[in-house]
Amino acid sequence: MQVYHHKNSLILESGKELPELEIAYHTWGKLNEKGDNVIWICHALTANSAAQEWWKNLIGEGLAFDTNDYFIICDNILGSCYGTTGPSSTNPETGHPFYTNFPAVTIRDMVQVHDLLRQHLRIQKIHLLVGGSMGGYQALEWCVMQPQLVSNLFLLTTSAKESPWGIAIHTAQRMAIELDSSWKDEQAKSGNEGLKIARAIGMITYRSYETFIQMQSDNNPNKLDDFKAASYIKYQGNKLADRFSAHSYWTLTKAMDTHNLARGREDLVAVLSTIKAKALIIGITSDILCPLPEQQIIADGIPEATFVVIDSVYGHDGFLVETEAITHHLSAWLKL
């Protein structure tokens, strides 16, 4: 992991200011002489800049994002807890971590940070901008904010604005965190028990009915407790709480709620029509978090767009799991 220390202030969309900034990022491959082989990956909610670890079988020699051909970048998003400035970072004005005092951020603020790193790395053009789920929110915003920057746009299981369904889910997750008696303690693990519940709520929306039937069914019809599905959900909650911050989870779900390409602009259709990049949009049949109609809106709005549907039982998480199908469609589309 590399870290860029941006020593100037960042004015957020809210009007609040971060006096300085650290941006954590990973790169793979090399930038060619023309500077036209950049792939930039925008990651989702609880991921990090080490995209090769969480998006297996896509980044590497001979894979869809071939490190022999491309210079690949993924940076950790603003507000996270994996190296980029966020609630767990030290506030230079107080000398203590921000925690619940971290200012509200939006998807557009995250894109501002991506672009600061782009300028630092002296990248003039992005050949392929990639985003799944919340990463797609960032990628779409970047294409609207800087239409000439991106040649090709690859989106998976995402949307042009956060849905009322998504906002309701995030609100329920934050309620769980806020009800944790430790939430206001201003410690690194404050809200940790609430985070476990928030993750459990999230997992129900990331997967599908079919996935739970296939993988979490109990063979014993006489069981009265300790069901496999219950153990799975508790395990996922504990697993996230061990590696993530409730403060970041609260902050980032708030940021997702702000996502709306039309905010302060024209209507959504008009805004999507300004995207100049050629786009591939992939949806998953069983995705209940960003269902197919959300992808269809994007595909209908972007002038040069291809919409592909992958039939999968893995729900929203299909964008992380179905790498073979994703590689097939992406490779064919890039050759068009």
Catalytic residue among 287, 312, 317, 329: 287
- Decide: 310 and 326 in contact? Cβ < 8 Å: yes
The answer to whether the beta carbons of residues 105 and 129 sit under 8 Å apart is no
316 is catalytic: yes
Catalytic residue among 26, 259, 316, 329: 316
Contact 143, 298 (CB under 8 A): no
Characterise 18 by phi-psi region: left (phi > 0), alpha (psi -120 to 50), beta (else).
Answer: beta
Going from the C-alpha of 288 to that of each of 44, 206, 316, the distances in angstroms are: 16, 8, 7
Q: Which residues pair with 122 in a beta bridge?
A: none
Q: Report the distance separating Cα 81 and Cα 70, nearest Å.
A: 28
Q: Which of 89, 133, 190, 208 is catalytic?
A: 133
φ/ψ (deg, to 5) at 213? -60, -45
Sequence-distant (≥ 6) Cβ neighbours of residue 116 within 8 angstroms: 4, 6, 10, 21, 23
In the numeric block, which tokens belong to residue 231?
A: 């153990």
Q: Tell me, rounded to whole angstroms, the distance of Cα 242 from its chain centroid.
A: 20
| Catalytic-residue membership of 133 | yes
Residues designated as active site: 133, 287, 316
